[in-house]
């Protein structure tokens, strides 16, 4: 067991939600996303209390904090140049330049655990809400 797996935890409820979200988004017609954070007291990785499922990149950008990292799980349906529908499921690792070193280290330490537990296909690092605008074009290339 790796050290981050012992330090950072997911509750069973969170694991169940991750699985349900991943399976449910594969049939979605529009973008869906959830934002996760690390509780600094318990080192538990969890969703905000209001459990919002975001329906657009703009909504996500509006709710990302200016000075604190977050993990965003995103399902983004798109039509490939071949005409085939694709629904990539990715992790957006939001790490703003203005966050402190302690937060940077904490979130960097749990990044792979979040990636493996959520079973995403790819990870994109973003530094600002404006970086969300580039995600559709990055996904279309995949």
pLDDT by residue (tens digit) across 86-126?
A: 889 999 999 999 999 999 999 999 999 999 999 999 999 99
Specify the DSSP class assigned to residue 54.
B
CB 89 within 8 A of CB 22: yes
Of 16, 10, 55, 13, which is closest to residue 37 (Cα–Cα)? Answer: 10
pTM of the model: 0.91
| The token pair that represents 83 in the structure block | 């005409």
Specify the DSSP class assigned to residue 121.
S
Of 66, 65, 73, 142, which is closest to residue 114 (Cα–Cα)? Answer: 73
Residue 142 in this model has a pLDDT that exceeds 70: no
Q: How many CB atoms within 10 Å of residue 75?
A: 22
CA dihedral over 46, 51, 52, 54, signed as positive or negative: positive
State the pLDDT at residue 2. 54
pLDDT by residue (tens digit) across 26-78?
A: 777 899 999 999 999 999 999 988 889 999 999 999 999 999 999 999 999 98
Average pLDDT over residues 4-11: 80
C-alpha neighbours within 13 Å on the C-beta side of residue 25: 28
Token look-up 């499922």 returns: 53
- Which residues are CB-neighbours of 79 under 8 A, at least 6 positions away? 85, 86
């Amino acid at each position: 067991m790796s050290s981050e797996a012992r330090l950072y935890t997911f509750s069973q409820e969170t694991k169940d939600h991750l699985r349900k979200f991943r399976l449910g988004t594969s049939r979605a017609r529009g973008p869906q996303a959830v934002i996760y954070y690390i509780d600094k007291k318990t080192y538990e990785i969890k969703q905000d209390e209001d459990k919002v499922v975001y329906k657009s990149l703009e909504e996500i950008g509006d709710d990302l904090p200016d000075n604190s990292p977050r993990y965003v799980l995103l399902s983004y349906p798109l039509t490939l140049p071949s005409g085939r529908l694709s629904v990539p499921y990715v992790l957006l690792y939001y790490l703003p330049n203005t966050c402190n070193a302690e937060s940077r280290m904490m979130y960097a330490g749990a990044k792979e655990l979040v990636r493996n537990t959520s079973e995403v296909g790819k990870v994109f690092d973003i530094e600002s809400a404006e970086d969300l605008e580039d995600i559709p074009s990055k996904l279309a290339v995949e």
